[in-house]
Homo-oligomer: A and B are copies of this chain.
Amino acid sequence: MEKFKAEREELNRLVMRYAGREVKRFFNVDADVYRDGALPAKVKELLGLVSSLVLRCDDCVTYHLTRCREEGVTDPELEEALAVGLVVGGSVTMPHFRRAFRAWEELKSDDGT
């Protein structure tokens, strides 16, 4: 998980060396769309997580899992959200579904919980 975060930050720095105005604005919108509003950040992170699962993006799933953890998502809430993604996206999401639980275990282990 530490390695995941470090690599992500290093690549973001590289992207920003190349990024023009549109890319920078896109990155800002991507950060802001998950902020508290009419819906709490926790629900928005679950939306990002399940969208990432059905689109089968491991890195996106891992990122949203770290944010879900910070927002206090519980084990049963996580399981129910991922279950929606599994049913919507079908068995082709199963490898990502399995790895999501492994990443969640690692996050809990890093927390000492």
Contacts and interface: CB of A to CB of B under 8 A. Distances in A.
A108 B54 CA distance: 29
Contacts of A99: 11
A72 to B, nearest CB: 12
A39 to B, nearest CB: 5
Interface of A: 8, 11-12, 14-15, 18-23, 25-26, 28-30, 32-34, 37-39, 43-44, 46-48, 50-52, 54-57, 59-60, 74-95, 97-99, 101-102, 105
Contact of A81 (B39, B57, B95): B39
A32 B26 CA distance: 11
B51 A88 contact: yes
